[in-house]
Amino acid sequence: MLYWLLKYIILGPLLRLVFRPQVEGLEHVPATGPVILASNHLSFSDSIFTPLIVKRKVTFIAKAEYFTGKGLKGWLTKMFFVGSGTIPVDRSGGQAARAALDTQLRVLRAGGIAGIYPEGTRSPDGRLYRGKTGVARLALASGAPVVPMAMLNSDAIQPTGQIVPNLGRVRIRFGPPLDFSRYAGLAGDRFVERAVTDEIMYELMELSGREYVDTYAQKAKKPPRQPVPA
């Protein structure tokens, strides 16, 4: 209920008025049935603008830290993500991350839309980074089509670390659904999962026009090692 209140009564009308979303290819999102929305990730606001644009409910996963913040800001952030149906994920990996993907698999099996950022985190510099194979596991296990979605300028609207967004017209582009039924029964094959993931990332590169970097974004965020004194 809170999801629809935020979208149509509380935040939605204001955000549409202020940011005037310009959307291309929204017709590629099926009106019914399970769908995986796979997007590049430029800004915190990506998870706000996407549910605003897509008519159906979109369930994203987000880092668990968004649900554990302190003070008023932490509480407001938690309430937003809880209200928008976002699933917390422990990015340390292992069983915790797998549980979040299993939850999204249940969303798909119920005929819903699962939103995912294949890069696993926001881009540190606006470029597109190597995708993690969780998106492929979802696609192969569910049989759902993958609709690539490119955030084109959300990093200019709300740069990393900036709380109050800049005024501007947010731009989003959707591509045609990708069908991976040719790999049916091959979930768990790491070579197939890598091939599926790379195909999705190629489409995101084409849609977004962003430079592709064949390394993980999380690795790119780590500070370089300091030389050990002799």
- List, for residues 67-107, the tens digit of each pLDDT value: 777 887 777 777 777 766 777 776 665 676 677 788 899 99
**pTM metric for this prediction:** 0.87
Q: What residue has token string 């939850």?
A: 103
Tell whether the model's pLDDT for residue 137 goes beyond 90.
yes
Rounded distance, CA 99 to CA 145, Å?
21
**Domain range summary for the chain, segments of one domain joined by +:** 2-159+166-218
Looking at per-residue pLDDT, the higher value among 75 and 224 belongs to 75
Give the fold, CATH level 3, of 2-159+166-218: Glycerol-3-phosphate (1)-acyltransferase (3.40.1130)
Per-residue confidence band for 224, with pLDDT thresholds at 50, 70 and 90: low
